Amino acid sequence: MELEDKIGYHFKNRDLLNTALTHSSYANERKAQHIPYNERLEFLGDAVLSIVVSDYIFKNCPELPEGELTKLRAALVCEKSLFEFAKQINLGSYLLLSKGERHNGGAERPSILSDAFEALIAAIYIDGGYDPAAAHILNFVVPAIKSSKKKKVKDYKTTLQEIIQKNPGERLEYVLVSESGPDHNKHFVFEVHLNSNVIGKGGGRSKKEAEQQAAREALELMGY
């Protein structure tokens, strides 16, 4: 099946995949056939998703305290994120929906797509175990984390300050190294010192910009 090629997982029990893609409206439309639908799988998928994401960010975001880990996990497992993940594999086109639900845009509805994405996780988990389910989840989650980190670190000075503050007694200082150019086109170079050791250097057309660039270099060198 095309969807299996997209997600890189091929089911031993294809019935699990079919159930994950079946919405309750489709089953209700065919009540006499007693077709299973994806709500129970969604329940399990939600739990698998949570443990996989928790495990990954706990191991790979050592700089984040418990409160920030909780916020990050919530952002990654919310309906909005799952909807975006589902769209990446065009999941809506594979769903079995009632005629009415499909006519009303059910294949593009965030709640339906996010639920189906969780059901698909559960189907993989039941069919193949934890590792393939985790691999499937992380295909979406890891790029999302990287993207969110890039968006977050806009104020490099504040970020650097917050990291250094975790170690009492450490002192940050920004030192002007050079200033050149005419008044209308100045160029400043700053170093950022940690306890008198240079940990970053940056330039810019204003002192503020140069300090930010110095902090950015320091963060990069520290692995952030």
What would the 3-class secondary structure string for the chain be?
CHHHHHHCCCCCCHHHHHHHCECHHHHHHCHHHCCCCCHHHHHHHHHHHHHHHHHHHHHHCCCCCHHHHHHHHHHHHCHHHHHHHHHHCCHHHHCECCHHHHHCCHHHCHHHHHHHHHHHHHHHHHHHCHHHHHHHHHHHHHHHHHHHHHHHCCCHHHHHHHHHHCCCCCCEEEEEEEEECCHHHCEEEEEEEECCEEEEEEEECCHHHHHHHHHHHHHHHCCC
* 162 classed as catalytic: no
* 118 classed as catalytic: yes
> Which of 39, 46, 84, 108 is labelled catalytic?
46
> Which of 42, 101, 115, 118 is labelled catalytic?
118
**Catalytic residue annotation:** 46, 118
